[in-house]
Structure formats: C-alpha cells, structure tokens
Amino acid sequence: MNIFITGGANGIGKRTALKLVEKGHSVKVFDSDEEALEQLDREIETFHGDVTNSDDLEQAMIDFEVEVIVNSAGYQKQGAVEDMDIETFREHVETNYLGTANAIKNAMPSIRRSNGRIVNISSIAGKTGAPFLSAYCGSKHAVEGFSDSLRMELKDSEVDVVIVEPGPIRTGFNEQGREHLRNFVPSSRFSNWYSKKLDSPVDGVETEKAASKVVKAVEAEKPKTRYTVTKEAFFARKFKRFFPDRWWDRIILSKE
C-alpha cells in the first residue's frame, strides 16, 4: 500500500514508518523537521512541509497516490490557562486539529479511489483532561470529534476512519512540551507545581508499542474504530465514561 504519514520524522510517526517499510509498504513521510527527515531510512520517501499549508500537502501528494494516510503530526506546550497566551492555543489547534483536517482533505480524492483508510493519531488526552495541558487536550478533543463525524460521513463508502489513542509514550514529545513550563517560573502562581513537574521523570512506554498499534490500524482487514495504547489509556477512557468527573479530578491531581 501507499502510505502517507504526517509528522513521520520523529516519535511514533517515525517508528511507524520504519515498521511499515519493513513490511513491504511504500511510505512517504511529510514533516516540518528537515533535519530529522534527512536522517530517515533511504527507502522512505520524504517531503519537507507544514500540515497547515495546503500547497505543501498538494505538492507532496502530486506523485504519490495515497491509499492510507496516518496523521501523526503533533504539537504540545504545557502551561496553565492563565499563563499561556492565546497564540499558543491557536498553534495547538492549527497543527493538531486543522493540520489533520487539511491533510485528509488533500488526500481524500485518492483515498476514495483506492477505498483506502484514514488513521488519526489522537491521544487519551482527547478523552480526558489534565492540568497544564488544556491547549493540547482541547486540540485532541477536536480530533476525536472530527474523526467520529468523518467516520459517519463515510459510512456508505469503503473508506475506514480509525483513531489511535496513545497514553504516555517516551518519545521526547512530552519532555519538549514540559520544558515550556520554565518560561513561567518563578513568576507564575503555579510555580511550585511547575517545578515539581520539571523535576519528575516522564512516565510512559516505548514508541514500539504505539507504532505496533498504528500498524495494526493500517493493516487490519476490519479495523476497530479506536485503538488505545497502554493499559492506563484504556482504563482512563472507561473510568471517565462510568464515574463522576470529580473522582477523575482527584485521581489526576493526586499525581501532580
């Protein structure tokens, strides 16, 4: 299959690209990180561009008939609502949500022709909330609602829409997002919380586990609508569904 991966030069996207190439698929990686693109396996075709730029996406897909798109491009900066400027919220929405929608709209004609598949890498943050992750959680909630709506719109077609919801993954992505907290210490009213987070190790599983779920979402003959990655993500989704919000709040805040 011809598989187009946004944000495929790092983290989950990169590991997914490598695994898919190993399995004999033709993979094209689209990413804004030019240096990381240059370090990818030569068997992987690459294109330097921004998911928020339709011209970049159009150029990347001109000579590549997309059968499956994997939307892995992501952006995260942590901080309290009171500390972050509105532009930071806008950047999350532009990359995580609108970037996903933009890539799909550009790939849709070829995906329809091939009765292909759309795989959106969301996050368990798209089903829950967490302090200092409001911008990221909000953008991932948008991806979840968008994906559910698109799946229903495509019900009468042969195109599948699949969501992959990772829990904490050790990719460097969360570490980079956390570093943004340093901008607010010591002036923020939340400085004590920020300092504690900055001094704590980042929990999570290796990218291999998440990439394996993405590959499954790509290759399954009859894919599920959602795949969660890690037991924590699975139980978090179930807990939020069946128990009061304030119970969830207490659990999360006890870990901060």
Query: Any idea which residues carry the catalytic annotation?
Result: 136
Please give the backbone phi and psi of residue 205, each rounded to the nearest 5 degrees, phi first.
Answer: -100, 170
Alpha helices (runs of H) in the chain, residue ranges in sequence order: 11-22, 34-38, 54-61, 86-92, 99-113, 134-153, 173-179, 191-199, 207-219, 231-242, 245-254
Q: Specify whether the CB–CB gap between 236 and 167 falls below 8 A.
A: yes
Q: Which long-range contacts (CB under 8 A, 24 or more apart) does 143-152 make?
A: 143/96, 143/97, 143/100, 146/97, 146/100, 146/101, 146/120, 147/118, 147/120, 147/122, 150/104, 150/118, 151/225
Residue 122: name the closest of 53, 74, 50, 174 by CA.
74
Q: Specify whether the CB–CB gap between 153 and 147 falls below 8 A.
A: no
Residue 6: name the closest of 26, 32, 25 by CA.
32
